Amino acid sequence: MNRAAIAEVVTNTDSTQNEDNVECATSTVQDYELTYDEQRERERLERLVERAFYQAGLALKELRDRRLYRNTHTSFDEYCKDRFAYHRSRYYQLINAATIVDNLQSCLQFVDILPTAEGQVRPLVPLNPDEQRLAWTQAVKATDGKVPSARVVKDIVDKIRERTKLPNPYRVGEVCLILPKDNPDLRGKSGCWCIVTHVGDFSCTIDTWDNEYTVKIEHLKSLEYTDSECEFMGELLKRLRRLHQLPNHDSSIDWQLAGLGKRYEAWLTNVQEEVLHTFEKAYGLIET
């Protein structure tokens, strides 16, 4: 074959390959494009992903408020552990988040973005509803209209708290979880519940089953109990304190009391009530 013939074959081959490549590229672009219905479906599914934590919080709140767990579990805490592997801190995070997202709905007239993850909402919990909306709006604007990270939200919240000097959020009779952090007086009290007995400007006096403490508000976390649940826990604390203060009582009592002092569900199980009742009868605190 002469050089001219070879050149013609090569030219034809390159032309064919170029046409194939163009056709392939066009086909690929067409495959990547979405129809109008597909785009709408994508947006719908993305919204479901973004609001999954919100829907979970709403569902948990309804399950709790209507006590729809009562046929299988004595407490909401036990139900969540068994059914969802959620501990108290987690399901309250989701419930609080759903409540706050509902509050932020009115922000849509200023910023067209709502939280897409529970962590973005968590820093807003200490604020009142008006401050929550203000903080979220400022956080979205600080990120040029994008979804702000939890860190951005927290920074905005810290500035608002410094400026407004938020009052003590706790009230007398409220049931709280103790957070020892760097307080040596609270060593060994991690995970214990307490009752607030006095509220100061920046601290609270609290009672536990074995002692009384004055702590800063950052060493407490509300367990978000209802009024009836707080009343029950207040009466329970009195029962535990009476047993603990008995002179020369059996050491096994303190072991039981320490366990109940860390079990911060709002109700006792039947077995726990029976054990506590037995101790009270044995020491004459109640009539036999």
DSSP 8-state secondary structure symbol assigned to residue 130: H
Residue 74 is predicted with a pLDDT of 86
84 with 180, same domain: the answer is no
Boundary of a domain, candidates 164, 194, 221: 164
Boundary of a domain, candidates 164, 185, 220: 164
- The verdict on pTM exceeding 0.85 is no
- Number of compact structural domains in the chain: 2
The contacts of residue 193 (CB under 8 Å, 6+ apart) are 175, 176, 177, 178, 208, 223, 233, 261, 262, 264
- Its domain, for residue 190, covers 174-288
192 with 158, same domain: the answer is no
283 with 200, same domain: the answer is yes
Residue 288 is predicted with a pLDDT of 58
Q: What interhelical angle do 52-65 and 76-84 show, nearest 10?
A: 140
133 with 185, same domain: the answer is no
Q: List per-residue pLDDT tens for the chain, 288 residues long.
A: 544 444 444 445 444 455 555 444 444 445 678 888 888 888 877 776 767 899 999 999 999 989 999 999 888 888 999 999 988 778 888 998 999 999 999 888 888 889 999 999 999 988 889 999 999 999 999 999 899 999 999 999 888 877 766 678 899 999 999 998 778 888 889 889 999 999 987 789 999 999 999 998 888 999 989 889 999 999 999 999 999 999 888 888 888 899 999 876 778 888 889 999 999 998 888 875
